[in-house]
């Protein structure tokens, strides 16, 4: 029998849209409760008779009211939902201050090796020497890249690491009889978690205003220093996408006043392998493995935010940590000396350690530096292409890892930063970070990372320029109603935040028509 080589004729007339937006690949997916019903079950289970209950009066009084779905129905529901998510695997993710870089599949392969993925945190250390060696090697890389004396791997996220860094500062000052230091300086260009962390630990937060060029003035820091100041929490490069030119002078002034320098390392991707934060005078800095070292950003976890510490803070590092002895590597799990003790259960996120070290080893020190330089190049390319149509708040410096624009170019158009971002969704791009940093009105913060090729950057810039042309040319309607091609139209975000609907309720049955 011969193969039929004649294909079926195709054309635009043969396509049928399945929803009003014309986007048949993005259906409006119903809830599970709306797919199934409570009268059927996807599995057959025997009835169970329970003569006595161990629930102590907490037995369910009403039916579960859960929809019964077959496995295909449940699987298709979640697969369809996953297709509604934007991800770095499906397109550029230009969120500023987020470093949404590619997650290499080699990392995933290594993390799934049985010797790493199948171990248990309570195993004898003699059976996990490979895992301990990996943790020890990762610690070496982090300390080398930052020129610091110690590292704590266990924090589960950047904010958690931030908390630990400030806890070591608090412990060091209490040990030195300086518990009177209750003020923390936080520049306006710092990450929002910085003042929250300081306040959580009982500190009074004193803001340091940004200069007109978006950087911190050492004179303003010196004026704010006093015997009550415990530390400064400075983000470098800062959230305006700028490297702080007076960072060394700021560190010297802070140390001269008896305080410590905490650096927010969320933007370390811009300087890894190029600048060692320890050389700048920092005492503590958290590092987001999910940003700088390519481990996945994942729905709140699992994350990892190791903290590097100077020699002055190293004695206060928490347990556990790896120690090398005559009998091999061991895990120090009980506090020694002035250690803070534990800040998390067990040893942290092993899978993230494997992915991060794989990224480091596959690049090498020179490769990491090249990645940082490429990230900075990509951001400056976007800035150069857009700066004539958009408004740049700080034109005096080249940017680092992210390009920042404000909404001055939209003045009088009737279009806001939010409207502009919603229209970007219709063009197939995830929006940039909006209204952050707060020091810039109507901010649009774009971070392409080193992952994006020039073709993708050009496509993104072409779309941005076309939208800017429409917004300033009087075509505001496409912005005010956007997005049009998403499964959901624009929400009333204020109402959604104030009056969220968190519980599904069965709709009232429709009245029966009279016969």
Token representation of residue 514: 């009279």
CA distance 118 to 137: 20
At residue 40, the pLDDT reads: 78
Map residue 261 onto helix, strand or coil. Answer: strand
Contacts of 96 (CB under 8 A, 6+ apart): 239, 241, 402, 403, 404, 432, 433, 436, 445, 446, 447
Query: HSE of 445 in the Cβ direction (CA atoms, 13 Å)?
Result: 24
Query: HSE of 332 in the Cβ direction (CA atoms, 13 Å)?
Result: 17
Q: With 70 as the cut, is the pLDDT of residue 233 above it?
A: yes
Least confident of 187-191, 398-402, 429-433, 458-462: 187-191
At residue 6, the pLDDT reads: 46
Map residue 4 onto helix, strand or coil. Answer: coil
What does pLDDT average to over the chain? Answer: 89
At residue 299, the pLDDT reads: 57
Category of 140 on φ-ψ map: left (φ > 0), alpha (ψ -120 to 50) or beta: alpha
At residue 514, the pLDDT reads: 63
At residue 117, the pLDDT reads: 92
Query: For residue range 237-279, what is the model confidence (pLDDT) as tens digits?
Result: 999 999 999 999 999 999 999 999 999 999 999 999 999 999 9
At residue 265, the pLDDT reads: 94
Task: Work out the pLDDT band at 110, boundaries 50, 70, 90.
Answer: very high
Q: With 50 as the cut, is the pLDDT of residue 143 above it?
A: yes
For residue 307, cis peptide bond before it (omega within 30 degrees of 0)? no
Token representation of residue 275: 């600048």
Q: Are 322 and 300 within 8 A, CB to CB?
A: no
CA distance 346 to 121: 6
Identify the H or E element spanning 368: helix 350-386
**What are the two backbone dihedrals, phi and then psi, of residue 308, each rounded to the nearest 5 degrees?**
-95, 145
Report the DSSP pairing between strands 403-405 and 444-446.
Answer: antiparallel
- pTM of the complete model: 0.88
Query: For residue range 293-329, what is the model confidence (pLDDT) as tens digits?
Result: 999 886 555 789 999 999 999 999 999 999 888 888 8
The residue among 135 and 26 whose pLDDT is bigger is 135
Distance in Å from the first CA to the final CA of the chain: 60
Contacts of 65 (CB under 8 A, 6+ apart): 38, 506
What is the mean predicted confidence (pLDDT) over 450-461?
Answer: 97
In sequence order, what DSSP letters do the residues of 379-428 get, joined into one string? HHHHHHHHTTTSB-S-TTS--SS-EEEBSGGGTTTT--HHHHHHHHHHTT
Three-state secondary structure of 266-301: CCHHHCCCCCCHHHHCCCEEECCCCCCCCCCCCCCC
Q: With 70 as the cut, is the pLDDT of residue 188 above it?
A: yes
Query: For residue range 72-81, what is the model confidence (pLDDT) as tens digits?
Result: 989 999 998 8
At residue 51, the pLDDT reads: 67
Q: What is the dihedral of CA 475, 477, 482, 484, to 10 degrees?
A: -100
Q: Are 307 and 318 within 8 A, CB to CB?
A: no
Q: With 90 as the cut, is the pLDDT of residue 384 above it?
A: yes
Q: With 50 as the cut, is the pLDDT of residue 24 above it?
A: no
Whole-Å CA distances, 481 to 370, 371, 485: 42, 39, 11
Task: Work out the pLDDT band at 38, boundaries 50, 70, 90.
Answer: confident
Which residues are bridge partners to 206 per DSSP?
Answer: 185
Whose CA is closest to 230, among 284, 276, 191?
Answer: 284
Q: Which residue intervals of 176-318 are DSSP H helices?
A: 193-200, 218-224, 247-256, 277-280
CA distance 101 to 92: 9
CA distance 19 to 36: 21
């Amino acid at each position: 029998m011969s193969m039929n080589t004649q294909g079926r004729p195709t054309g635009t007339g043969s396509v049928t849209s399945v929803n009003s937006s014309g986007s048949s690949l993005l259906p409006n997916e119903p809830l599970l409760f709306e797919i199934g019903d409570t009268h059927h079950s996807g599995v057959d289970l025997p009835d169970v008779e329970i003569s006595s209950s161990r629930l102590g009066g907490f037995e369910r009084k009403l039916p579960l009211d859960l929809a019964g779905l077959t496995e295909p129905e449940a699987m298709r529901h979640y697969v369809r939902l996953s297709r509604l998510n934007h991800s770095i695997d499906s397109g550029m993710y230009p969120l500023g201050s987020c470093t949404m870089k590619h997650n290499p599949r080699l990392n995933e392969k290594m993390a799934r090796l049985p010797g790493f993925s199948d171990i248990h945190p309570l195993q004898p250390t003699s059976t996990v020497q490979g895992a301990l060696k990996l943790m020890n090697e990762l610690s070496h890389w982090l300390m080398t890249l930052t020129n610091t004396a110690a590292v704590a791997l266990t924090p589960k996220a950047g904010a958690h690491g931030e908390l630990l860094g400030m806890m070591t500062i608090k412990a060091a000052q209490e040990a030195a009889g300086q518990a009177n230091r209750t003020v923390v300086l936080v520049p306006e260009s710092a990450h929002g978690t910085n003042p929250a962390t300081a306040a959580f630990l009982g500190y009074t937060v004193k803001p340091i205003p940004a200069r007109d060029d978006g950087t911190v003035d050492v004179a303003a820091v010196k004026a704010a220093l006093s015997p009550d100041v415990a530390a400064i929490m400075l983000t470098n490069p800062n959230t305006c996408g700028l490297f702080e030119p007076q960072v060394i002078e700021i560190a010297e002034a802070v140390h001269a006043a008896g305080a410590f320098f905490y650096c927010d390392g969320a933007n370390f991707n811009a300087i890894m392998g190029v600048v060692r934060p320890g050389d700048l005078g920092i005492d503590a800095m958290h590092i987001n493995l999910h940003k700088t070292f390519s481990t996945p950003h994942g729905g709140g976890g699992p994350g990892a935010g190791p903290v590097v510490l100077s020699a002055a803070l190293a004695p206060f590092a928490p347990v556990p940590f790896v120690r090398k002895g005559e009998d091999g590597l061991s895990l120090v799990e009980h506090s020694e000396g002035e250690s803070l003790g534990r800040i998390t259960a067990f040893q942290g996120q092993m899978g993230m350690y494997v992915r991060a070290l794989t990224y480091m080893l596959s690049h090498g020190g020179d490769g990491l530096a090249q990645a940082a330089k490429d990230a900075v190049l990509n951001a400056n390319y976007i800035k150069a292409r857009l700066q004539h149509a958009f408004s740049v708040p700080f034109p005096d410096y080249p940017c680092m890892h992210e390009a920042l624009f404000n909404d001055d170019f939209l003045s009088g158009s009737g279009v806001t930063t939010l409207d502009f971002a919603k229209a970007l969704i219709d063009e197939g791009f995830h929006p940039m970070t909006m209204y952050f940093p707060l020091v810039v009105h109507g901010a649009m913060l774009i971070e392409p990372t080193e992952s994006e090729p020039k073709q993708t950057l050009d496509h993104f810039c072409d779309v941005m320029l076309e939208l800017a042309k429409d917004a300033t040319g009087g075509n505001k309607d496409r912005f005010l109603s956007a997005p049009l091609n998403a499964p959901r139209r624009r929400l009333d975000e204020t109402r959604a935040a104030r009056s969220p609907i968190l519980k599904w309720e069965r709709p009232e049955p429709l009245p029966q028509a009279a016969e």
